[in-house]
Amino acid sequence: MNVLVTGSHGLIGSSLTPYLTALGHKVRRLLRSSADSSADSKPDDIVWDQRRLLTPEELAGIDAIIHLAGENIASGRWDENKKKAIRDSRLTSTKLLCESICRLDNPPQVMLCASAIGYYGDGGTKELEETALAGNSFLSQLCQDWEKTTATVQEHKVRVVNLRIGVVLSPKGGALARMLMPFLFGAGGNIGNGKQYMSWIAIDDVVNAIQHCLANSTLSGPVNLVAPKPVTNAEFTKAMGRVLNRPTFFPVPDFAARLAFGEMADELLLASVRVKPTKLINSGYQFLYPDIDSSLRHVLGK
């Protein structure tokens, strides 16, 4: 397929584009500025400032679009400016991309658009399938609005998959990279009471599952991209200690997490999100790393 990818320099996109290319797909990258592509510029790259519609010529021959672009939600405290940047980077780009698709005589067959398990909010110990109700937090409302934005292209017979992505485990960045240093120095520990659930997925399964969604025409709407065995924060902490052979005696109390990270702590660190990948499992997807120990050993080279 001819696949257009946004967010190709991000944690997922930087692994996805070479993976799709190795499988025989022709991948074109939609880049936010020419500066982003200066080091590895390719003739088929499209430079887009996310303030205009894409032209039919730019989208000609595209069979599939994978839209991953968005402001990093964990790169700073959530003041009003940061939250506006997080929302605008997702909703504006998705709206313009969808409007561009709707103008085409021959639109792509499928659009895969990133979302997140933040859709569900704090679910406690309840298992959350794709049919579960949305929460009422900042991230929950963002994900709801983000997914609604893709509805317009469905009216043009484009299959849409909303990828509700969990905590991605990768040695290249994301949550795991931020956690790694204190654990390596023996300063890791539970966050809060450690009972909150964390729904994670190895980077290898993320890119493999995206390819699965791309190829499987029965999948549409929300699809949870998480491993089948979520763990509590305490279980994750013990697994990190086992894999790294380090003690984990230094807990971070609720108040300390909130003091350090503000509102972000409640939604990303202390909320309990126990998500089940029902659609992936029912469609026959086989996880490469279904449990936390094997996943951590793989991504950390242990």
User: What pLDDT, in 10s, does the model give residues 22-81?
Assistant: 999 999 999 986 545 556 777 888 988 888 999 999 999 999 999 999 998 988 889 999
Tell me the pLDDT band of 280, cut-offs 50, 70 and 90.
Answer: very high
The tally of domains found in the chain comes to 1
Look up residue 126 and give its amino acid: K
Residue 173: pLDDT band with limits 50, 70, 90: confident
226 contacts: CB under 8 Å, gap ≥ 6: 117, 164, 165, 166, 199, 200, 201, 275, 276, 277
16 in a domain, yes or no? Answer: yes
Q: Is residue 14 part of a domain?
A: yes
State the residue range of the domain holding 64.
2-169+200-226
Answer whether residue 246 is part of any domain.
no
Residue at 238 is within a domain: no
Predicted local confidence at residue 49, as pLDDT? 81
22 located within any domain: yes
Any domain includes 247: no
Region 129-149: mean pLDDT is 97
For residue 174, give both structure tokens.
């994301």
- The beta strands (E) that lie in 44-158 are given as 46-47, 64-67, 110-116, 127-128
Give the tokens for residue 274.
């126990």
Please give the structure tokens belonging to residue 112: 């895969």
The CATH code of the domain that includes 137 is 3.40.50.720
pTM, two decimal places: 0.95
User: Is 163 among the domain residues?
Assistant: yes
Mean pLDDT, rounded, of the chain: 93
> Residue 85: inside a domain, yes or no?
yes
Measured CA to CA, the distance from residue 109 to residue 71 in angstroms comes to 27
